[in-house]
Structure 1
Amino acid sequence: MAMWVFGYGSLIWKVGFNYDDRVVGFIKGYRRVFYQGSTDHRGTPENPGRTVTLEPADGEICWGAAYKISKEEDKENAINHLEVREKQYDQKAYVDFFTDPTATTPAVSGVMLQIVQAEGPSGPNRDYLFQLEKALLEFGCKDEHVINIANEVRRIVSELEQLSTQSKS
């Protein structure tokens, strides 16, 4: 029996494990928010970054990608990878995954999700934000929360660059 894993953050563009199929779609009853403090990947304990997590929200949907994993060895490797990668999360949930906004029945049931100026070992926090925004837009998903934060970060970066240029002249 295949295992399915839902990616709603960096798993969209940086999977890190073998899978048989990738399907773009969404889950219901959750929204993506930049509420998770990252002290291990996109920040440090002194300067935590921000990554996305999911929070229950009636009537909301969250777009992402579901990964089908069939081989037992690949399932074990994926779970081990996710346990390390998502170590700040200790909760798993199994949800329905949809690919058609008008569908009343899910495309896949029982998809697992890991209720999953900073820079950490995985790189700058703003790169995480911009890569997530780009990946979602490639799906045709305009997540206003992500877009608004990305635009604000771009504005701040632009201001800092202008100040740096002025101080050098």
Structure 2
Amino acid sequence: MWIFGYGSLMFDGWEAACGCTGRRWADLPGYRRSFNKKSVESRGTPEAPGLTLNLVRAAGHVCRGIAFAFEDDDSAPEIVLGLQKREACKPRALAVQLEDGRTVTAQVYIYEGRNLIADSMPLADKAAMIAKAEGIRGPNFDYVRDTYEGLKGVGVDDPAVTTLWEAVKKYPDQPKLL
């Protein structure tokens, strides 16, 4: 079984507790990252929602991520369900291309529920929303920063993430960065 990570799943270490047997760079064609999923618990509230990372269809785009390998045994459904709860959606089975050229079917978590915002929301509005939001897992500012730094740390430069981070860190009343 393969699971494709495109955000925090790439670098927060969740896979170690689930018996991951390998990890490979992978590309998901036809998708790109977008901060279009409202967080009303983890990184925001219903009154002041935050924004978290998701994928949107985008012809001509390729989303670079990590494909995690797991034994396709009795523990596989438990892993999928645990991530389903974390990501607030059921996975889709999609073809991803591994760095060695193989194409595998991976479970990819793409949220399409009622807490989506328009992908076209102005950058300044997204930054303002993020700057005001805080949930049970902390400020939305921290999530966006950690996502940017995490992707940068593994060598992924995503313009959508970088552009949003640049707008958010300039927002008034945010922690001063060194």
Normalising by structure 1, we get a TM-score of 0.80
DSSP-derived class of the 2:41 partner: coil
Runs of 4+ in 1 over 3 A off after TM superposition: none
Q: Do structure 1's residue 34 and structure 2's residue 35 form an aligned pair?
A: yes
Q: Which has the larger radius of gyration?
A: 1
Instruction: Note the residue ranges of structure 1 that are not aligned, 5 or more in a row.
Output: 163-169
Give runs of aligned pairs for residues 3-18 of structure 1, distance below 5 A. Answer: 3-17=1-15, 18=18
DSSP-derived class of the 2:168 partner: helix
Q: Separation in 1 of the partners of 2:68 and 2:33?
A: 18
Aligned to 2:136: 121
Aligned to 1:79: 80
Give runs of aligned pairs for residues 47-62 of structure 1, distance below 5 A. Answer: 47-62=48-63
Aligned to 2:169: 154
In the TM superposition, what whole-angstrom CA distance separates every residue of 1:90-128 from its partner, at most 9, and x where no partner exists?
4x322222244xx8xx53411110114211122221222
AA in 2 matched with 1:93 = R
Residue correspondences, number: 152
Q: Separation in 2 of the partners of 1:37 and 1:161?
A: 20
Aligned to 2:94: 95
Q: Separation in 1 of the partners of 2:146 and 2:25?
A: 16
DSSP-derived class of the 1:42 partner: coil
Q: What is the aligned-residue RMSD (CA, Å)?
A: 2.1
Instruction: Note the residue ranges of structure 2 that are not aligned, 5 or more in a row.
Output: 112-131
Query: Could you say if the C-alpha distance between residues 130 and 33 of structure 1 is closer, same or farther in structure 2, counting changes exceeding 3 Å?
Result: same
Q: Separation in 1 of the partners of 2:135 and 2:165?
A: 19
